[in-house]
Chains A and B, each alone.
Chain A
Amino acid sequence: MRGRSFLLGAGLSALFVLAALVSLVWTPYDIEVLDIPAKLQPPSAAHWFGTDHFGRDILSMILVGARTSLAVALLAVGIGMALGIPLGLAAAARRGGWLDEVIMRGNDLIFAFPSLVIAILITAVFGAGAANAIIAIGIFNIPVFARLSRGAALGLWQRDFILMARVCGKSSARISAEHILPNIASLMIVQGTIQFSLGILAEAGLSYVGLGAQPPTPSWGRMLADAQTMVSLAPHLAIFPGMAIVLSVLGLNLLGDGLRDWLDPRLRVVRA
């Protein structure tokens, strides 16, 4: 059972990444060409997922939308890891010191903010767009990785091999980089897939309310927003982009759970 859901997760995730990559070189139709006579067509052999109100091919738009989702979520996870893990490692190395205290209180503070509200605030103030969406989502990934890496590193600092490294005269920064980091990497990757899936949902939400990637860049959330007024005439406009979101998020979650079980059954990943 576990193995099967892992395979399903890996398959769906691969499909998502593949869709994004394929869209770079090929889509069934050019999404920048409007074909008004062919507007709002239901799914057919020519247009598998139908067409939108401008006659654009929904399948092609979903493929390109995957690229937007992937880029935003991946970069947001990157921000979280690049800033969160060093902070967590520094906090663990200076356990109980003022640095630890400052980092952890800062984390608590970010956690206290309702993430979506602040994401809306940031994109609203600095302008809507993919870049600000990435920053807004990324900020909330920082405390997730900081907290997790600190917790995992604290356990490692008690171990004998770290003591040996200290005896050898290595600085705590060097120990963190050379000995702690490789040992917590798998845990970070597992959490990364979970944050990645949350990032896809967040990006969809932001672009649904018009604060994500701006037209003409297609994004799944924006496709759903466009579909809203026409959903009774053409349900396929809402169904396919929504399915794309659900399957990608589901796939990444299953992949993350499976990876965790496979790498180390004892690992517990925090699900925010």
Chain B
Amino acid sequence: MLRYALRRGLSLIVSLAVASAVIFLVIEVAPGDPASYMLGVNARPDTVAALRAELGLDVPKVERYLAWVGGMLSGDFGTSYAYRSPVAQMIADRLWVSLPLALYALALSTLVAFPVGLYAASRRGRAGDTAVMAATQVGIAIPNFWFAMLAVLVFAITLRWLPAGGFPGWDKGIGGGIKALTLPAVALALPQAAILARIMRSALIDMLGEDFIRTARAKGLTRRQVLWRHALRNALIPVLTILGLQFSFLLAGAIIIEQVFYLPGLGRLVFQSIAQRDLIVVESVVMLLVCAVIVVNFAVDLAYAAVDPRLRARA
């Protein structure tokens, strides 16, 4: 297990290094110099040069890359070009909206998908299963931002149960924050719940075909007991992997959903920074998101290997 963890850890570090280099390069080749953008078209060349020096843009690329990565490792993400404030602080502020939103959505989609998947698997081939499969097909096809707009129309504008957008801030009370995040989280969770329910169902059905299930049935357990005690536990392994993958979809999806609800999260920060050519912020947020996905998948892989010794041998 230790050897496996070390090996995966090494490939984790390589992935992060390559990812950071790719992101840095993409941003580097971006047309539009931040300094000349900030000063406008009429700026004198020496003013632009002075600002470039002040922002550290005149240093060679390799040095700048190393400084960026080194800074991130010590928690210093640099200083925003546009606001002259620490990027780390800006990201931290926004994370308080985006992270709860993604976790809220993850919890909702799991809570819906597990029972639905279990139900469909236990009713395999019958009307209940068919209905669930049809509903999840539609769920996958719905763009979450469109669903969000319709939800706002119904629950915020017509029924007035929940706010249509904006975020009061956690310091105004947890209740208001949760209320503001409910519709976004539901919208974000819908397609993921549909995918997860289908995977849960097919993982369970795969398990039900296994020999050990037949043995369990033969020793006298009822269908229900077999489903809960034997099939569910084994089916959780593939489902866990998908949950890890879904985290990345939720983070990405949150960026768009935040636009629908005017939430001050990472997504809005990214779009704002893109518009202002505040590339150091864009760079850092993207790196943070990629890092989160790589680390979550790493954690899932380890959990997976800890549960199932066969995987350690294979890798």
State whether B259 touches A235 (Cβ < 8 A). no
Q: Would you call A250 and B141 a contact (CB within 8 A)?
A: yes
A108 to B271, CA, bound (A): 27
Task: Check B293 against A113 for contact (C-beta < 8 Å).
Answer: yes
Q: Bound state CA distance, A247 and B130, in angstroms?
A: 19
Q: Name the segment of B15-23, B113-121, B226-234 touching the other chain.
A: B15-23
Complex interface: chain B residues within 8 A of A224 (CB): 143, 145-146, 149
Cβ contact within 8 Å between A232 and B157: yes
- Nearest CB of chain A from residue B245's CB, rounded to whole Å: 8
Say whether chain B's binding surface is mostly helix, strand, loop, or mixed. helix
Whole-angstrom distance between the alpha carbons of A245 and B146 in the complex?
9
Interface residues on B, range: 35 or more
- Cα distance A232–B22 when bound, in Å? 43
Query: Interface of chain A, helix or strand or loop or mixed?
Result: helix
Q: For chain B, residues 239 to 295, give those with C-beta under 8 angstroms from any C-beta of chain A.
A: 248-249, 251-253, 255-256, 259-260, 270-271, 274, 282, 286, 289-290, 293-294
> Is A141 part of the contact surface with B, judged by Cβ < 8 Å?
no
Contact B138 A250 (CB under 8 A): yes
The 4 closest A-B pairs by CB, nearest first: A116-B252, A249-B141, A250-B141, A242-B146
- Taking the complex as formed, is A58 at the interface, i.e. its CB lies under 8 A from any CB of chain B? no
A115 and B246 CA atoms in complex are apart in Å by 12
A114 touching B274 in the complex, CB below 8 Å, given contacts A204-B143, A253-B141: no
Q: Which of A181-211 contact B (CB under 8 A)?
A: 197, 201, 204-205, 208-209
Take A117-B251, A120-B255, A208-B259 as given contacts and tell me if A253 and B150 are in contact as well, using a CB distance cutoff of 8 Å.
no
Chain A residue contacts of B19, Cβ below 8 A? 109, 112-113
List, in ascending order, chain B residues with CB within 8 A of A118's CB: 286
Complex Cα gap A127–B140 (Å): 29
Asked if B297 is at the interface of the complex by the 8 Å CB criterion, the answer is yes
Q: Please measure, in the bound complex, the distance between the C-alpha atom of A231 and the C-alpha atom of B226, giving whole angstroms.
A: 49
Return the chain A residue nearest B145 by Cβ. A208
14 additional contacts (CB under 8 A) given A125-B27, A253-B137: A109-B19, A112-B293, A112-B294, A114-B251, A115-B252, A204-B146, A209-B255, A221-B143, A224-B145, A231-B153, A231-B157, A238-B150, A249-B140, A250-B141
